[in-house]
Amino acid sequence: MSVLHLKQNVIVKVVVTEEFKKDFRKELERQLESAVGKARELKSSLARLVIESAGIQNPTYVESLKARIEEERMLQEAIAADLREKIKEVDDLLPGSVYPYTVVEGLVDVGVGDNLFKKIGGIEVLIKDGVVIEIKEGT
């Protein structure tokens, strides 16, 4: 019998605890600091480019660089805004509630006669303080 090894998405949910909130908030704040720092660096790079581009003979090249830098800066600012919202969301979580934390990729073996949709869809893992407390298949 042939068996295929397929990728599947596994939804990881967390039972909210004060420890989880503290750790997750800390990680989000670290990511926020990084995004804000990158946006600031890009803004500075853009200013330097404007000053240094005075002697460049190819204005199309300079405008292209400016546009790419500005696009990346705006992306970092959007990431920062999303992270600020996520931090507010985490602050409002109630202990004992279930929070959809992330999606990870897993593998599943599929063979002849298996229901493909049940095999690759709807797997959920529930954790509390990092410990798996429940696995739901085919939800």
**CA–CA dist 28, 91 (Å, integer):** 11
Q: What is the pLDDT of residues 81-124, one digit of tens each?
A: 999 999 999 999 999 999 999 999 988 888 898 888 888 877 89
Q: Do 138 and 102 share a structural domain?
A: yes
Q: Do 99 and 84 share a structural domain?
A: no
**CA–CA dist 47, 53 (Å, integer):** 10
The per-residue DSSP string of 10-56 comes to EEEEEE--HHHHHHHHHHHHHHHHHHHHHHHHHHHHHHHHHHHGGG-
Q: Do 8 and 37 share a structural domain?
A: no
Q: Do 139 and 117 share a structural domain?
A: yes
What's the pLDDT score for residue 8? 87
pTM above 0.85, yes or no: no
Domain of 39?
A: 25-93
Residue 139 has pLDDT above 60, yes or no: no
Q: Do 35 and 12 share a structural domain?
A: no
Q: Do 131 and 86 share a structural domain?
A: no
Q: How many domains does the structure of the chain reveal?
A: 2
Q: Do 77 and 63 share a structural domain?
A: yes
Degrees to nearest 5, angle at CA 31 with 42 and 27: 170
Q: Do 56 and 9 share a structural domain?
A: no
